[in-house]
Chains A and B, each alone.
Chain A
Amino acid sequence: DQQVKQNSPSLSVQEGRISILNCDYTNSMFDYFLWYKKYPAEGPTFLISISSIKDKNEDGRFTVFLNKSAKHLSLHIVPSQPGDSAVYFCAASAYGTSYGKLTFGQGTILTVHP
């Protein structure tokens, strides 16, 4: 039972264009969502998060959108850069930020071509 799903295993974009990574969830108790980025041979690093009381959060080139009715979130990277090439994981938590359980999606491999 995959409660968080990233249905696109990979995405390829040209440098300077927009990258859109998608994530769907099924558990309506999820109320906090995070994106992590992972380079090969390294641990994941935090990218951006959003609470269910918001529908958008921006941090520089990265914007996360949340559509609660559709149980869908997306990460937009504008403009995309070759250094953004990595695996991106979305994750979801219930009961606020202080709860212990975190559920990740399968990940999407982003490749940004120069």
Chain B
Amino acid sequence: EAQVTQNPRYLITVTGKKLTVTCSQNMNHEYMSWYRQDPGLGLRQIYYSMNVEVTDKGDVPEGYKVSRKEKRNFPLILESPSPNQTSLYFCASSPQGAGNEQFFGPGTRLTVL
């Protein structure tokens, strides 16, 4: 089944404790992206990757890191999480670029205390 998977689905952590949210797709897509969803703000793009080893900032990259060492994986790293990073996070992929239909993962609900 073609899908985007994220882990963990739920995470409660404390300020400053480094964490990684994994994202994997099995559709051989070139493009992957991370978004956060917050009430009243909709979805905002954090980082995106056009291909392996190619990443770039979205609209809200502060406090996040990403890497794209393999085509299928695009982990989101929070080196020192803060409470303002409490949010619902989505990973997505598409064959080529943001303007193509993107396939989203199920989301990761992160709470930073």
Q: Do B98 and A104 touch across chains, with their CB atoms under 8 A apart?
A: no
Q: Please indicate which of the listed interface residues A36, A43, A91, A101 has the most CB atoms of chain B within 10 Å of its own CB.
A: A43
Query: Which of A42, A98, A100, A104 makes the CB contact (< 8 A) with B106?
Result: A42
Alpha-carbon distance A96/B98, docked complex (angstroms)? 9
Q: How many residues of A contact B (CB 8 A)?
A: 27
Q: How far is the CB of B62 from chain A (nearest CB, A)?
A: 16
Query: Count of A-B contacts with CB under 8 A?
Result: 82
Q: Do B92 and A101 touch across chains, with their CB atoms under 8 A apart?
A: no
Chain B 45-62 interface 0/1 with A at a Cβ cutoff of 8 Å (1 = within): 100111000001011000
Interface residues of B (CB under 8 A from A): 4, 31, 33, 35, 40-45, 48-50, 56, 58-59, 90, 92, 96-107
Interface residues of A (CB under 8 A from B): 6, 9, 32, 34, 36, 41-46, 49, 89, 91, 93, 96-107
